[in-house]
Structure 1
């Protein structure tokens, strides 16, 4: 080992560089151990890297050893490592000076049985499956358009930002975050308490109760995700009245919460996409259905109109309908004259046959007197009977008409009037809200189309003495007075023949400069 020089003139202790120490340790480890066989459980394996190399770790109940398989060796392996699997590897022990770590460079891999964590996971999975917690019949449907979404995750990681960003892009809703630790011994208790806490929120309380809960965490090794295999978490999700989406890990990761949740998302971003629809797609679907409805109504109207026209052509004309009645009327009119003549003759014969005499008149007057007297005798009884009938009808009507019935009818109509007033207020408020939204949209559109936004990006508008925009450089003559408008004001200048610019003091923009005008040339 090469000496550098004494660190101090008064000390005989030699100095070594970091590279020298790292190289010495590397040579010592490689010379001391050489090729070794190591038995351990695979942890953190995600398949080969984009470079073709594979990086993971071997561990037991007390220690952890970093491992690497180079691309050339990886393509020749007959047995590939798997997450949580216990294997026996043969390789060379070395160090990695870049991060002061030691690792084994694997040359061969042999299976050695399932790891302890995987065995425990399978045992717990069988126990909970026997209780029916993973049955599809227990799973609840995800609401199509939730108003409030609860998220159980770490408040400082990238997961919550990805979820909120994705929900805001698709369909902005109210998001409640219950902060928990997503790694460590307390993960199971905190996640189960968070799910139970969301379910305990009352309807209509100061804090809105979520319509959907997302349990999310980024990727990691089996140990990192072990808190989501906790039995308390599985039972809390199974007992949740609120639908739960599990978004723990990446596509290849799985935990027990994925089996009990109502839906499993491959990533936290995928959970956000499952939770809410795309607002623009919904608006497009509504517009498309509205157009189809209008088209269907128009086509149905045309079809009905054509059917009516076809049926009208099959109906007889008015002349045909009135021909038979008109003929009957003419025949009756012809018979009427003859019938009047015959009736007149019969009446004349009857009148000529009646002989008028004083005795006949007296007899008829006597009959009339007798009938009148009889009618006069019956008149009081008939009058009393009529009065009794009217009194009975009046009493019956009076019994039906009561103040209680009138009050009930008044209350009924008063309630209907109040409902109509509330509906009118709601309709007016909705129309005002729509009007405000339309006005805001128009203002944003006008602002986006204004030339002032272009001036803010560093462009300028050149006008001549006539206050009209100059669109071409060839239109500028030497000595011409120019007005150059910037974003913060207008400056006067005079065009020079040799390319020099003479500028005067800036002036504030006129009110007329703010109005929509021909923007001219911007440079």
Structure 2
């Protein structure tokens, strides 16, 4: 019988490669789940990747699915992903063969009901409040009567008409309207750009800078008002240097810009009322204050006039006031002649007593004592002058000795300096002679120039018939390349010269100045 082993049984199932199996699974999943809506909580979101794509997960209590938003769709999303946000993702299910996993490619994101929106707003409010954007100390009081009012709202809605009508009724002011969309994907970006645009206007520029801003919108659903709760709008309101009044929705509607604004108005009409006072009330109040001022001024004058009359009755008459001084003046007038005589006698007696002390002998003794003191001071002065003159002579003698010493040292130093300069000059002269091309000519070489006197460095630059100048050690000769006689000079004609004998040495031409001639080391 045969010794061969029995063959193993074969299977009818085809062999798949890994790529073929992955591709088949991918097609099956995409065909079965071409378009799905998945509700879940965003997890693991860290912002867009450097490539522009966004990767995160959707999870619920029992499962998790990977999600990706391609770069082209990310910019068109109405709702941007945020960590922990509960959403409804619209897209398609596909597989990723590189990891043997499935994922959802998201094309649109929606809030998973009002509860998700409120949770997102509460999280955003908590995070922005932690940065201090809602702090009360940041808020400022709007001006009492602004000159220019800036309004950020839709130019076609009823809100702007209500604001303008209310301002016109209360106190007409100059109004600047920055038109924006108050609902939709671009609402938040346009509102924040408008707030920053009003703040960027220069003071005193061609467009007046508002003194107060009103951000207004009519009522709406929670989704309609989401644009005024975006982070960019809140930050723009908090950074505004112009006082800002928030008037978004009705009194029960709350957006995050209400917390960052300086003042929150329940309605746009109330915002206009907060912006300006009632002109008629101001006029009436000013008129009342003016009347009160005039009345109080008149009453003050009357009261002071009555007080003055009462005080005037208490004052004594002029005769009563001057009676005592007039009597004292009469008594003093009677005593004055006797007092003058007594005073003159007292001064005469004092002069008589002093006269005895000023005799000629006393004055002569005083002058003699002054002369002795003067002689004493004169003698001291002469001694001091002689001592000072000796000191000066000694200093002059020392200065003369120092000058003679310096003079004696100067001659050898000057001689050494001259010798050093002479040595350096000889060295430079030797170096100049060594570098001069004339030393090369002295060794039997020649220097060839063209007709313009420029040295010729190569034979390739010479053509037959060119005029050349050949310089030797003792002079120059004219030559023509390729034979022939040199061309006549361009100047006036010269008389013909007698032919020279071939045995006679060529007459040497005077050498040009060495400084103006080129050397062998440069043209």
TM-score, normalised on structure 2?
0.41
- Alignment TM-score, normalising by the size of structure 1: 0.41
